[in-house]
Structure 1
Amino acid sequence: MKKTLSIFLSILIILCSCTGFAASALANNFSSEIDIQKALDKNKYDSSTPLTVTVEGTYVLSSRLVIYSNTTFNCEGATFIKNYQNSTMLAIGQNQDAPYGRDFYKNITINGGTFDANKNNGSILSFAHASNITINGAVFKDCYNGHHITFAGCNNVNITACTFTGQGSKSGDNMEAVQLDILEESHFPNYKGHSRSYDGTMNENINIFGNVFENVNRGVGAHSVFSGKYMKNINISNNTFNNVSGYAVLASSFLNVTINNNSINNCGAGIYYKSINPKPNSKSQRPNTYKCSGKSYSPTVDKSSQISGNTISIVDTKDPSMKQWPYGIRLYGEVVKSNEKIAKKGDYSVQNITVSNNTISVARSATGIWIDGAKKSNIKNNKITFTNKKYKTKQKVFGIRLANSSKVNLNKNTVNVKGVPYVDNAIFLIKSKSNTLTSNKTTGAKLHGIYLTQGSSATIKKCTVSSNKSDGIYITKSTANIKNCTVSSNKGNGIYFVSKSKGSIKNCKIQKNKKKGIYISSAAGKVSVSKIKYSGNKGGKIKK
């Protein structure tokens, strides 16, 4: 038996005429989705008058509802259950409107309500070319082969205090609960046949704040990009992600992004920020990368983005895409040295980003913070702990991994491996030049506390490196200037310079290491040593 839906319509009507009319309000009760749609249709052709539609009760939908500009849809106490396949449950405007620009639709608010896709195919809510959109306090659940919400080409969107739960995929594809999409026809087919809708309008000024994501494939973000075009001013903060099988947040080609104070619990991966989609291998095309109306663009440097104050716990999940290279936080960029089929030649490095004050707990083969292709960025005050000694893997895992990067500052980070046997090195630098490591603390790695290789260079100062199962600081084919560090209780050498490595060691405390305090192999280059305080190193002070 259907429950009666009470719909209250408040319509402010101002008519300019010789007699004049007062504002009027209509109150009606409806019991069918057709009548609800008729109420929403009052702003279909003329949305100059603000419209409020209030719905209560439970309703089984046989087709989608459509909302228009200048409408407030109050759904607190209402439940909508989807009883059909593929199409969305709620859309903004008609596809045949062929909308364009960033404010074709505008001023739409959805308050409360439960939108239950009932495990039917398709996204729950999809909209584009809209501005001033607010979705507050709603529940979106049991989406299958789709996204809970997807939007593209929008400006000033606020999604707050919502819950996203339950998501499945027959193909095994990994879909975001909230997707920030691009207007590419093969990827966003809503306006197929209406070319003006595919005008390259990008999302801007997006605020996703204080929501809960639970038992979904992915949390929030974008995996598809127009090469060289960017979404701007994106805030993803104070959200809770529980039991997300893939990543919680994916920021692909975002400028001025803030990802702060999120709680990411028992997820397959944490936060991924990338300025370009990486190739699976050198001969392949970049996945999910498109030209915009047949054109690619040169890269733009991000002036300021931050990932700060997040609490992240990473566990093994059933998500097959996370079986390789999972992470707590990952940054990715690169220099494209020549024009490709889609991407233009240019510097797509991650730049001017701050990753700070994050607490990361890892219970699987996941690197804590993984940075590849970054410049002029700060990684500071992060705490990384590995917790699962029973986990087995053949993959190489690190606390912090810095690759193909330059002028990156690692400052006051703590990496505690706690003897977890699969973590090779606490801090690992490869092909990374002119970096600075200051006041970091590392302990308990399978091999080394700090490891530089393949042409890396760094100043390492005021670091504390202890209780690693091989050498404390290991330098090979790289340059390191080490000063004011404390290196102690490592099972190998305190500091070890090997093949073609060079640099200096000054004002360090080298204590209680099982082999040499300092070992400079015959294959190393010039290494100066001065003002060292040795004590308790079983193999002696220094060997050159």
Structure 2
Amino acid sequence: MLKLFKGFTAVSLSALMAFSAVATAAAAADDAYAGAQVINVSAADLRDGAQWALQSALDQAKNQATASNPVTVKAAAGSYDLGWGLKIYDNTTLDLSGVTLKRTFSGNMLRIGYEDQVNSGAVGYQYKNIRLVGGTYDGNNGENTMLKVAHAKNFSMENVTVINEREGHMMEVAGCDGFTATGCTFRDQVLTPHHDGYEAIQFDILHPKHVVNCRAEDLNCKNILVENCVFDNVPRAVGTHTGILNNPFDGITIRNNTFRNLKSIAVQGMNWINVDIRMNVIENAPRGITVYSVMDDGSGIFKSSELSSLGGTTSHVSSSYQTPKKANINICYNTLKNVGSLADGFADYESQGIAVLGNKLERVFPKDSVDGSGALPVGDYYNDDVSIYGNYVDIRGNGIRLEDVRNASVTRNEILCSKNTVKSANYYGIVLRDNAQVDGIEYNTIKNAEVNGIQIDSSKVGTINYNDIISPGKYGMGVYTTTIGSITDNYVTSAKSEGITLLWSSKADKIKWNRVRSCSGTGIYVSSNSSSGDVSSNLTYNCGGGINAPNKGSNYTSPSPLTKFYLEKDGVKMGVGTAYKLVPDVRPVNAIESFSYSSANSSIAAVDAYGRITAKKQGSTTVTVASSNGIRQSYRVEVNGGSGVSYLEPKVLDTPQISGFRSTAQGVEISIAKVDGAYGYRVFYKGSSGWKAMGNTTSTTFIDTDVRNGGTYTYTVRCIDANGNFTSSYNNTGWTYTYNYQLPQLATPQITKFESTDQGVKITWNAVSGAYGYRVFYKGSSGWKGMDNVTTNTYIDEDVRIGGTYTYTVRCMDKDGSFVSSYNNTGWTYTYQPKQLDTPQITKFESPDQGVKITWNAINGAYGYRVFYKGSSGWKGMDNVTTNTYVDEDVRVGGTYTYTVRCVDQNGKFTSGYNDNGWTYTYQPKQLDTPQITGFQSTAQGVKITWNKVSGAYGYRVFYKGSSGWKGMDNVTTNTYLDTDVRNGGTYIYTVRCIDKNGKFTSGYNDSGWTYKYSYTTTSYPEFTLANESNGVRIRWNSMSGVYGYRVFYKNSKGNWVSMDTVTGTSYLDTDVRNGSTYTYTVRGVDKNGSYVTSFLSSGKTIIHN
């Protein structure tokens, strides 16, 4: 039987003494402390108990790892059961490539750092540089968060798979600066409506109702990246339903992920700023992407003062209302497919594709009754700076929804709507409400909206331009109580009612160049209590009415043939995964034609029937746009490795001509004949393999400085734009010129002195009259190599070794770096021999609890010392110190070790010799008395063990004897321990050993141990009754002596008992019932730790609800 316990590594005494699991440390540099180390955990040790084998390695890493010397724990491939949660600490990588860990307990499979109290423990972003690589974490349908990250900085996970979670998050992240998940998979998270662990990855706050066993603090999450991950069959994939007032989560990037088969939503954020959600694919979900500022009642948001009060930490932000920070929310190039085809199973949300929602709280709402959040100050919690760009939205609901936003834009999205059959509501293609302030709604395609294509209510919009609205269920545009700058160049066809409407005191400054066709109602309608400025040059054709608006000018009632159309620029540059929507601008403005789109290479860039181009892979192609009457245009597309879209410059300029050359002190000066329209020029020379670029210039001259007198060179020039793109051709023959510049030569510098300093070889030479500076050279295997330019007549070569011989020379330069003297080709040779300090002598050893304390004589002139131990392959550096003592903590009692010491300077270079024989010492700390077990007791929770207190003992480790010997169960600082992993009638053998505060043994132990048989009779089960009430089934029972609380169960369709809740009263109301349905219940008593202390009625009792 493998004994398990929560929060400590269970290992045998021998393993604790000598960690047989593997501890193979590989150092990447000459000294053991320099470079990364790897601790390999063998398959044999993992099969014996993955939890203790891995935790032992992680504990070893905790003690050894530093930022400059991180440690990797690597497990052997295979599948293993995990009996309790692992803890990982600073500067550690856990590599589980090829490993599957299956949870066999109730708790976190892995967490960062220690389990803290709400008001003590880690603060700030304390745990740093932690990385998970590979592996599968199988939650085995357990009911607790699997991975937990809190109080952390620079956490990453790569190619990790997380599966099979039930009734909880797969991963919780709180108080984290720098979180990266790349190439990971999160799959099969089951959640019933009674629970709220919606998110596979939940970005949370440090509050005990949300993240347990962590100190409370107003610490936000920031610098978050979720990239190239897969989320399959989970409720919500990534999100947040908590936050900190005035301290939003900052820097959220979610890109290139795949979300499919969701039960709620792909991404739901709250109180986020600097957000980038791009190039994700979302398939089969009730909702796509939503970012809230706060919820309607403020719930989920906590004041900083409340969190700091709970944790005894510092409050960093105000708890009063403050003007929201700029949100900077960018949602672009996402693909949403089959969204809204099923209802959200966890809350009454409207179906929608993409939404950004602010809220204005006009009163203080009560605090949430469950977690105490909310009660926020009155104020407008809007989202400022929002861009919704280039998304594909296949939706049964609202396509894009904005409420209470500022400085927003909705541009170049393709929204294809279908009938929503799961939740009745008014659904729109694009909907703005509640004081949304939007700069522009432009270049969008909206098809088959259930109600209006564009719905705007109580908002303010700058421009509504170039939108294509097809077959809306009511209006093409429905504008209510809203001010708009301009409504221009939109195409509305087949609306079931009016095409464009302004109602309820709305206003538009300009309504021009719109084309409204085949609408059942009036083409353009402005109500009597609304107003419009210039209403002219609009086409209303085949509609129930024309234009009803004030200030109506000249408009069209029939179309004209298309004569030409325009596209924006001549092409675009697109990053792989981005999208760009083409919208032809027709002439004349009353022309009505349909357009088709085709790509010359769809593997590089594909285009759909509505003109939306998607970048597939790097390369160049063209998209052809053709009107139904035969007018065609080609549009260039260049796909690169970027992440955005920009326009290509269309104009090809004249080929530039070189107009002259001049030999200058700096080199060949090339003159270029100015080309009209050129931003600048790129200059090339012809080498052995063809033309090579030298540099760019925005003037008409360029100097080639890399020339020699008498050398002949061939040049050409090409025009470029501001982005460095070519805008002209070039002369392939080029122009040839021989460089000939005569400069008076200065005297050759002469090296006059060498010195061996602590820094290196100091070189001195004579100052040469007229020299601006000097270049210093050393002679390498392939000849002279320049080291540096100086304006003095001395230089120190720091890249030398003691006893090394080096050859140097010097040459004069002018201020432009050109040589103005010759040099001594033979050079001067010197051997580096700095003064050595005395060799340190170890004078004393001691055996304190911490390890071997080493003392040596202080050396005059020494900055510090490097301490070494002799391993199997020779001397290994342990550490650098500036004192003359050092404690080696990595020792075992009775172990014999050999040490030596060497002086170092402040740069870590050696400044003395060392004793190669070293000094040898055996570690023998003082041992305390052996603890004696004095009693046992069978309790409802298990075997209670008591032993005598040992004077001087910090704590104790408790062991049980298993089939392979003694196994550690836990560390305690009291003289009692409760073993809960026992069975009635089982016989167990125990012993105890003293430890210090670092967990090292400070006493012997009784190897025979003490034997005890566990025998405990549980209390009978609670007697209960069932009764129908108007809103559910009431279960009542009698209070039982010695019982802290009661767990209520119902029997599911498979005949299994499922826990509903644990209460301390004597009744429970199940409201999740339906009339005419049959339900079976039972009740079981628990103690305050949730352990069962009674039996239960296994057959249960049954009732029909009516």
- Shared fold (TM-score greater than 0.5)? yes
Distance change in 2, residues 1:94/1:399 (3 Å): same
For residue 532 of structure 2, the aligned residue among 495, 499, 503 is 503
Question: Residues 226 and 296 of structure 1 are in contact (CA less than 8 Å); yes or no, is this contact kept in structure 2?
Answer: no
In structure 1, the partner of 2:379 is 346
The separation in 1 between residues aligned to 2:554 and 2:281, in whole angstroms, is 45
Question: Residues 214 and 242 of structure 1 are in contact (CA less than 8 Å); yes or no, is this contact kept in structure 2?
Answer: yes
In structure 2, the partner of 1:541 is none
The separation in 2 between residues aligned to 1:99 and 1:15, in whole angstroms, is 37
Question: Unpaired segments of 5 or more residues in structure 1?
Answer: 192-196, 280-285, 521-526, 537-544
Q: Is 1:79 aligned with 2:100?
A: yes
In structure 2, the partner of 1:108 is 130
For residue 180 of structure 1, the aligned residue among 191, 196, 203 is 203
Distance change in 2, residues 1:500/1:24 (3 Å): closer
Partner amino acid for 1:163? T
Tell me how far 1:502 sits from its aligned partner: 1.3
Distance change in 2, residues 1:303/1:331 (3 Å): closer
Q: Is 1:328 aligned with 2:353?
A: yes
For residue 507 of structure 2, the aligned residue among 476, 479, 498 is 479
The separation in 2 between residues aligned to 1:26 and 1:39, in whole angstroms, is 7
Tell me how far 1:99 sits from its aligned partner: 4.3
For residue 344 of structure 2, the aligned residue among 299, 319, 323 is 319
In structure 2, the partner of 1:228 is 246
The separation in 1 between residues aligned to 2:525 and 2:542, in whole angstroms, is 12
Q: Is 1:401 aligned with 2:413?
A: no
For residue 57 of structure 1, the aligned residue among 68, 78, 81 is 78
In structure 2, the partner of 1:542 is none
Higher RCO, 1 vs 2 (CA within 8 Å, ≥6 residues apart): 1
Tell me how far 1:110 sits from its aligned partner: 0.8
Question: CA offsets, 1:113-155, max 9 Å, x none?
Answer: 0000011110110010111111000100011111111111111
The separation in 2 between residues aligned to 1:67 and 1:78, in whole angstroms, is 17
Question: Residues 466 and 472 of structure 1 are in contact (CA less than 8 Å); yes or no, is this contact kept in structure 2?
Answer: yes
For residue 281 of structure 2, the aligned residue among 263, 284, 287 is 263
The separation in 2 between residues aligned to 1:21 and 1:115, in whole angstroms, is 32
In structure 2, the partner of 1:432 is 459
Tell me how far 1:393 sits from its aligned partner: 5.5
Distance change in 2, residues 1:202/1:62 (3 Å): same
Distance change in 2, residues 1:259/1:99 (3 Å): farther
Q: Is 1:138 aligned with 2:138?
A: no
In structure 2, the partner of 1:290 is 302
The separation in 1 between residues aligned to 2:424 and 2:346, in whole angstroms, is 17
Tell me how far 1:373 sits from its aligned partner: 0.6
1:320 is paired with a residue of what secondary structure? coil
Tell me how far 1:399 sits from its aligned partner: 0.5
| Structure with bigger gyration radius | 2
Tell me how far 1:498 sits from its aligned partner: 2.1
For residue 470 of structure 2, the aligned residue among 419, 443, 465 is 443
Distance change in 2, residues 1:290/1:393 (3 Å): closer
Distance change in 2, residues 1:174/1:503 (3 Å): farther
Question: Residues 116 and 141 of structure 1 are in contact (CA less than 8 Å); yes or no, is this contact kept in structure 2?
Answer: yes
The separation in 1 between residues aligned to 2:132 and 2:36, in whole angstroms, is 23
Question: Residues 228 and 343 of structure 1 are in contact (CA less than 8 Å); yes or no, is this contact kept in structure 2?
Answer: no
The separation in 2 between residues aligned to 1:9 and 1:508, in whole angstroms, is 80
For residue 378 of structure 1, the aligned residue among 402, 409, 432 is 409
Question: Residues 174 and 218 of structure 1 are in contact (CA less than 8 Å); yes or no, is this contact kept in structure 2?
Answer: no
In structure 1, the partner of 2:399 is 368
Question: Residues 272 and 327 of structure 2 are in contact (CA less than 8 Å); yes or no, is this contact kept in structure 1?
Answer: no
The separation in 1 between residues aligned to 2:34 and 2:422, in whole angstroms, is 76
Tell me how far 1:372 sits from its aligned partner: 0.7
Partner amino acid for 1:206? I
Q: Is 1:387 aligned with 2:387?
A: no
Tell me how far 1:50 sits from its aligned partner: 2.4
Distance change in 2, residues 1:26/1:323 (3 Å): closer
Distance change in 2, residues 1:487/1:47 (3 Å): same
Tell me how far 1:11 sits from its aligned partner: 5.2
The separation in 2 between residues aligned to 1:27 and 1:232, in whole angstroms, is 37
Distance change in 2, residues 1:482/1:26 (3 Å): closer
1:459 is paired with a residue of what secondary structure? strand
In structure 2, the partner of 1:529 is 552
Question: Unpaired segments of 5 or more residues in structure 2?
Answer: 3-19, 307-317, 367-374, 560-1106
Question: Residues 7 and 54 of structure 1 are in contact (CA less than 8 Å); yes or no, is this contact kept in structure 2?
Answer: no
Distance change in 2, residues 1:244/1:9 (3 Å): farther
The separation in 1 between residues aligned to 2:429 and 2:245, in whole angstroms, is 31
- Sequence identity percentage: 27
Answer with 213-222 or 315-324: which moved more: 315-324
Q: Is 1:517 aligned with 2:546?
A: yes
- TM-score (normalizing by structure 2): 0.44
Distance change in 2, residues 1:500/1:37 (3 Å): same
In structure 1, the partner of 2:230 is 212
Partner amino acid for 1:356? Y
Partner amino acid for 2:236? R
For residue 61 of structure 2, the aligned residue among 36, 43, 47 is 43
Tell me how far 1:414 sits from its aligned partner: 1.1
Q: Is 1:10 aligned with 2:25?
A: yes
The separation in 2 between residues aligned to 1:277 and 1:479, in whole angstroms, is 30
Partner amino acid for 2:532? G
Question: Residues 302 and 350 of structure 1 are in contact (CA less than 8 Å); yes or no, is this contact kept in structure 2?
Answer: yes
Q: Is 1:240 aligned with 2:258?
A: yes
Tell me how far 1:356 sits from its aligned partner: 0.2
In structure 2, the partner of 1:524 is none
The separation in 2 between residues aligned to 1:383 and 1:27, in whole angstroms, is 52
Distance change in 2, residues 1:318/1:353 (3 Å): closer
The separation in 2 between residues aligned to 1:507 and 1:337, in whole angstroms, is 41
The separation in 2 between residues aligned to 1:156 and 1:379, in whole angstroms, is 30
Tell me how far 1:408 sits from its aligned partner: 3.3
The separation in 1 between residues aligned to 2:135 and 2:493, in whole angstroms, is 54
Tell me how far 1:7 sits from its aligned partner: 6.0
In structure 1, the partner of 2:293 is 275
The separation in 1 between residues aligned to 2:34 and 2:493, in whole angstroms, is 81
Tell me how far 1:453 sits from its aligned partner: 1.2
Distance change in 2, residues 1:394/1:274 (3 Å): closer
The separation in 2 between residues aligned to 1:486 and 1:160, in whole angstroms, is 47
Tell me how far 1:46 sits from its aligned partner: 5.3
2:142 is paired with a residue of what secondary structure? coil
The separation in 1 between residues aligned to 2:36 and 2:472, in whole angstroms, is 72
- TM-score (normalizing by structure 1): 0.87
Distance change in 2, residues 1:486/1:23 (3 Å): closer
Segments ≥4 residues shifted beyond 4 Å? 5-9, 11-17, 20-28, 337-341
In structure 2, the partner of 1:467 is 494
Distance change in 2, residues 1:413/1:402 (3 Å): same
2:319 is paired with a residue of what secondary structure? coil
Distance change in 2, residues 1:22/1:516 (3 Å): closer
Distance change in 2, residues 1:323/1:174 (3 Å): farther
Tell me how far 1:15 sits from its aligned partner: 12
Distance change in 2, residues 1:485/1:435 (3 Å): same
Q: RMSD between aligned alpha carbons?
A: 2.7
Tell me how far 1:174 sits from its aligned partner: 5.6
Partner amino acid for 2:134? G
The separation in 1 between residues aligned to 2:325 and 2:21, in whole angstroms, is 52
Question: Residues 101 and 153 of structure 1 are in contact (CA less than 8 Å); yes or no, is this contact kept in structure 2?
Answer: no
Question: Residues 205 and 244 of structure 2 are in contact (CA less than 8 Å); yes or no, is this contact kept in structure 1?
Answer: yes
